[in-house]
Structure 1
Amino acid sequence: MTAPVLRTASLRRRLSLWVLGLLALLLVVLGVTVDLVLGATLRSDLRDRLVDRAEIAASLVAQGRSDEDVLAAVTGDTVQAQLETSDGDQVGEIPDPPAGPAGGLAGGPARPGRPPAPGAVVDTGDAYVLQTELPDGSRLTLVADQSPITDAVAQLRWVLVTGSLVTLVLAAALVSATVGLGLRPLDRMTVLARSITSGDRGRRLRPDRPSTELGSTAAAFDDMLDELEGAERAARRAEAGMRDLLGDAAHELRTPLAAVQASVETVLRTDPDRARREELLAGAVRELQRSGRLVADLLDVARFDSGDPPALHRRPTDLAELARGSAQRVGGPVEVHGPTVRADVDPDRVGQVLDNLLRNAVRAAGPRGRVRVELGGAGGTATLDVVDDGPGVPAEQRERIFDRLVRLDAARVRDGGAGLGLPIARALARAHGGDVTCEPVAAGACFRVRLPMTG
């Protein structure tokens, strides 16, 4: 399955475009709002002006003022007036508004077929017209020209468009510079990553505010570097351990194979008597068995290292009987003490654990030493303590000896092992859900095996 491709378009360009796009949208909304609100406000003021002029005219007529005085009072500020007296005379002039449907004014609010209501302001498109009856029976017609409002709104639109364009140009320059400053931590991360690639492994970003977006990214970057360095160190240790394993394995195999070769060559060259020949061949068989155990241990270590431990065939098993069988196989001064304890284990693999521990204990105790296996169980866990009266294990070495290829100096004198028994024993015990540990004792050494008991 192909991994998704990370899109890596310029972050600065994307942020700049997003900011400029949002600013342009805001400017458009602002311009449209100002245009609509200002136009509506100016037209509303103009309509209110016509109504006020009509009220002034009615008040002056009621005071008995002349027609000329009335017209002079209501004319001006784009408002023109015409007065039609009750005798049919007309005073003043106004532009002729276009006729609308059924005798109404074009664009007015009058419904089709009906004239506009008296005193109503009619919008003809170019002007507002108001016709009203005065107290003396005359009719007053007021016309307010809308062209100044239209021109003002048009000029305002050009100002808004020009100002918006200038604002966007200036914002583009400022946003690009500002975004560049804001993204400077990313440039530092890039420089750090390249320096680490060139070999400077110890550098870190160490953000002062790990809760922010860039801070959390930098903290995750530092954590990733720590994990990578840890993995690199573990890989180097594993590689060094593998080299040591191969070297020790070659060294350990060279000795028994050389002994087998010498024994076989002696038999072939000298044709000794039967007793000597059997002695030489028996020695060759022992060395081959030792080589076989070493190869088996190497295979087990390789399986555990690859994460593929051997399959376990569990069944309820008497651990005391298993310990006695292992003592017979190993030989030496081994005693088994304790009650009958049953555990849900693979008897072959647990027998391998005990064999490894008992061989180490017998070698450490020496020909005059004593080795014992003490069984017990409590809390659903069975324990087998393999105790010897040998030189013991120093406190600082009790965990290290479970690393593969580790052999204590005191054991090297008599020990021909490769240092694989204890790590294999612990790995097998842990595969059962238990463990193997080296416990502190007053004298000698004590290795404790913990295994789950039968439920």
Structure 2
Amino acid sequence: MIGLRARLVAGFTAVAVLASVLTSAIAYFLVRRVLLDRVQNNAIMDVRSTLAQAIPARLPYVTYSPDLLQPFGDALARPGWQCWIMGNQPGGWVTTGEKYSWVHIPPQLITAVRASRPGSKAHGDTLPGRRLVYQRIVSRGVPYLVVGTPIYLPKGGISGPETRFGRVTAVGSQIEAYVIISLRHEQSDLNEMAALVAVGGAIAGAVALLIALLAARSVLRPVRLLSEAARGLGDGDLDRRVEVRGRDELARLARTYNDSADALQASVAELREMEASARRFAADVSHELRTPLTTMVAVTDTLEEEVSGDAATAAGLVAEEIRRLSALVGDLLEISRFDAGAVDLVADDVDMAELVAQSLRLRGWNRDVELDLEAGLRIHADPRRIDVILANLVGNALKYGSPPVTVWSRKSSDPDGAWLRVEDHGPGIPAEARAHVFDRFYRVDTARTRGKGTGLGLAIARANAELHGGTLDLLDTDAGTVFELWLPTDQRETE
């Protein structure tokens, strides 16, 4: 899809160019019309006055010859003019002038000239040059103005001023005069003007394009700044604001954005304060409960040993719930340390296989888990935190999955590190729950039918993995559940 900048530039330029073309075209045709009309009117007036002066005061009726007609042609001679004089007599037409001029005279114009001679229906004034017929033509790419007129000379001639400028009605021979005037010079001027108009239009188009680019830039710059600010706001930069300039629509939009950002920042700050207060409360409560719960666990263990019957059963149930509550308090304390950034990483060079075997052995899981560990694979990590990760992953596999439960490890070359997988063959985790398994207090209730958890174990496990610069993910499998842990071989490179 064409961008807003391109549409603005194209639209502005198109309107400017169209206006320039229309204005130039109108100006060109107006100038052309005025120029040609002026040349045409001047030529017609010149022909009329010249013919009026060229007719002698008395010309007897004779047989016309080229020598007799030549004075008319000489009188009409002008630079760029071609004259053709034709006399009618009983034996036919006699002509004088340039032979090729005949081809430039349109037949329609000759017909119009002869229709206006004495004796015709169009007959009127018989004095020379009074009944002019003219037409503009183009021959061989050159424009011409062709002027024609009949000249009536009655038998016996014309004499006296009273008859020379009056009307006569007679029949007899006549002369037709045709003048072909070249408009090459005027057409050249018009061509130069058209070229200048085209150059001016091109310059106007270029200027319009430049103005459109500058205008689009000035219009879109606030939009771009708003877009960048909104993107930064989405990335968490709540202090990002837009400078408000002017009082137009874009300024109002920027002001609205700033007001919205202020409101959002205030809401986020309030939520963060509430979250921090809740975490402090959970940490304080967990800390205060830890000592009493430890005492209660010791007391219930003693009661289980000393009582019997229903009392022993009740004591066992109480002890189990107290242990679960103690585990929850421990997890809350651990997660609150991560939230407060108060966790320490005590890393050391350890053997991955030995660390896994020791963690399983301490919990009595070594007989329930199959191991496929690469020998000699060493990592730089905090053994206690890796043990927490293993305890959560293997404990969940044994508690909620089905045997065999397998722990697998291999060296990773790209990037340099170690892979560890914990796999079971249970019912697996539903697809809709996979995206939430690492959320705090999230439980997959349909899978957890054989026990109850705190909902914090996997969140703590991932936090410990990320503390090492590693990752912990749930793999997408058709059957069972597979968690994959990646740790850098030398964690010091990620610090």
TM, length-normalised to structure 1: 0.44
TM, length-normalised to structure 2: 0.41
Who wins on radius of gyration, i.e. which is larger?
2
